[in-house]
Amino acid sequence: MPSVLPLGDPAPSDGLLPAQAADGAAQRGFGLYVHIPFCAVRCGYCDFNTYTATELGGGASQDAYASTAIAEVEFAAHALTASGLPDRRMGTVFFGGGTPTLLPAEDLARILTAAVNEWGLAPGAEVTTEANPDSVTPESLTLLADAGFTRVSFGMQSAVPHVLKVLDRTHTPSRVPQVVQWARDAGLSVSLDLIYGTPGESLADWRYSLETALSYEPDHISAYALIVEDGTKLAAQIRRGEVPGIDDDDHADKYEIAEELISAAGLGWYEVSNWARTPEQACRHNLAYWRGDDWWGIGPGAHSHVGGVRWWNVKHPTAYAGRLSGGVSPAAGRETLDAETRNVERVMLEARLSSGLDVSLLAKSGQHAVAGLIADGLVDPASAFRGRLVLTLKGRLLADAVVRRILPD
Ligand SMILES: C[S@@+](CC[C@H](N)C(=O)[O-])C[C@H]1O[C@@H](n2cnc3c(N)ncnc32)[C@H](O)[C@@H]1O
Ligand code: SF4
């Protein structure tokens, strides 16, 4: 969740949604995102809405956060019912950050229990938390599993000490196999997040990180190209020439290595940056975002989407807590997406999935562009013949360019 918020329209203080949000809701899935905006240290590359204890100052303590988040859970349940949305159980819950596991596991369990009391969990629901390798113990992971969490996503990033140092990560490589084992012992499914293209990372470093991650036999891997976000410490270091900049060709080479090694280890891609051991182990919460389902985002800066209405909360934890303690919606703004915008977003997101995009969703100009994309080796011809646009490996490397060619100017 990048930290810059859109402008949008004002959001009503009672959180009520326009009538159109309820249209067809019974046919859409419902999920919950819970943002935990705290980190022990801010990594130099990270632009997420998260705060260290020193950045936070007074006014919004980590100790009170679970109670504040629960106040938004209760506010959300009331607002959805009062807006005419049907009762729906949660198919997925995702605690992200920041570092959710910086809070005591009891606090995360309390927030989850409050949400389950309001909405209930659908059978087989997926409940994930992100975690930094140095912010969990065997006891905390067991407590989370007992509370209903099913999955943990560890920010491994790299197995190479000099790369972890440039990223400002606080864990040592040897910590990762230990926490993976603890998570398994607790009965949790395990995902590992990796970053490639860090300044100073060689191709051999990246290969080693992948081989090491795969040797832990995770159920799921996410591999993201490092983005140099404006205003971060990393951007300043690159500008001052203290560390080398990043390079698109290097990213492409590393993506190809990722695909080669991860697929050889038996995991399959289902989204450009995500691989799962079995289709059931794909992150269903992210798939629900990409397919335009409904979700409520709890926490400062969190985004929500219900039936084409999208809104986002105030960014700072103090302002967020203040709104909720006054019984007022924490939303800072909202927008109602028109049919054309929804279709464009759907094209942008579904084109990145291995299940592909229904070609009939494209305007005539986009449909005509498909033959050229096949000729350029970017789109799989057999799938296109069946009416679905599925990226080839080359297409995955150039996914943004493919999307530009199929959308109207
Ligand atoms: C925001 S973090 C939250 C989880 C946890 N705090 C951690 O760092 O693992 C989620 C993931 O976002 C990714 N991420 C954050 N900033 C990024 C950037 N500038 N470029 C690429 N990936 C980034 C990291 O890989 C991280 O694992
Ligand atoms: S620990 Fe995660 S959320 Fe926190 S600063 Fe680092 S990458 Fe960002």
| H or E element in which residue 379 lies | none
Describe the chain by its helix, strand, coil percentages, rounded to 5. Answer: 45, 20, 35
Beta bridge partners of 309: 306, 336
Determine if ligand 1 sits within 6 Å of the CB of residue 155.
Answer: yes
What is the C-alpha to C-alpha distance for residues 194 and 203, in angstroms, rounded to an integer? 14
Determine if ligand 1 sits within 6 Å of the CB of residue 289.
Answer: no
Determine if ligand 1 sits within 6 Å of the CB of residue 17.
Answer: no
pLDDT at 408: 81
Tell me how far the alpha carbon of residue 158 lies from the centroid of ligand 2, in angstroms: 14
Output the residue whose Cα is nearest ligand 1's atom 7: 155
How many CA atoms does the CB half-sphere of 404 hold within 13 Å?
Answer: 4
Residues recorded for the chain: 409
pLDDT at 7: 63
Tell me how far the alpha carbon of residue 269 lies from the centroid of ligand 2, in angstroms: 25
Which listed ligand is nearest to 196 at the C-alpha? 1
> How far is residue 324 from each of residues 15, 73, 94, 296, measured CA to CA in Å?
11, 10, 21, 15
Highest CATH level, class, for 19-290? alpha beta
Is residue 96 helix, strand or coil? strand
Burial readout 111-122 (b: 16 or more C-beta within 10 A, e: otherwise): bbebbbebbebe
- Which atom of ligand 2 is the closest one to the Cα of 46? 8
Determine if ligand 1 sits within 6 Å of the CB of residue 130.
Answer: yes
Q: What is the pLDDT along the chain (409 residues), one digit of tens a residue?
A: 555 666 677 889 999 999 889 999 999 999 999 999 999 999 999 999 999 987 886 656 899 999 999 999 999 999 999 999 999 999 999 999 999 999 999 999 999 999 999 999 999 999 999 999 999 999 999 999 999 999 999 999 999 999 999 999 988 999 999 999 999 999 999 999 999 999 999 999 999 999 999 999 999 999 999 999 999 999 999 999 999 999 999 999 999 999 999 999 999 999 999 999 999 999 999 999 888 899 999 999 999 999 999 999 999 999 999 999 999 999 999 999 888 888 899 999 999 999 999 999 899 999 999 999 999 999 999 999 999 999 999 999 999 999 999 998 7
**From 1, 35, 42, mutation site for ligand 2 pocket: most ligand atoms within 8 A of C-beta:** 42
Determine if ligand 2 sits within 6 Å of the CB of residue 127.
Answer: no
pLDDT at 5: 63
What is the C-alpha to C-alpha distance for residues 131 and 102, in angstroms, rounded to an integer? 8
Q: How far apart are the first and last CA of the chain?
A: 28
Output the residue whose Cα is nearest ligand 2's atom 6: 43
Radius of gyration of the chain (CA): 21
Residue ranges per structural domain of the chain: 19-290, 339-409
Which listed ligand is nearest to 223 at the C-alpha? 1
Beta bridge partners of 337: none
pTM: 0.95
Helices (DSSP H) in 248-283: which residue ranges? 248-264
What is the C-alpha to C-alpha distance for residues 374 and 395, in angstroms, rounded to an integer? 10
pLDDT at 9: 77
User: Which letter does DSSP use for residue 271 in this model?
Assistant: E
What is the C-alpha to C-alpha distance for residues 61 and 378, in angstroms, rounded to an integer? 50
Tell me how far the alpha carbon of residue 249 lies from the centroid of ligand 2, in angstroms: 26
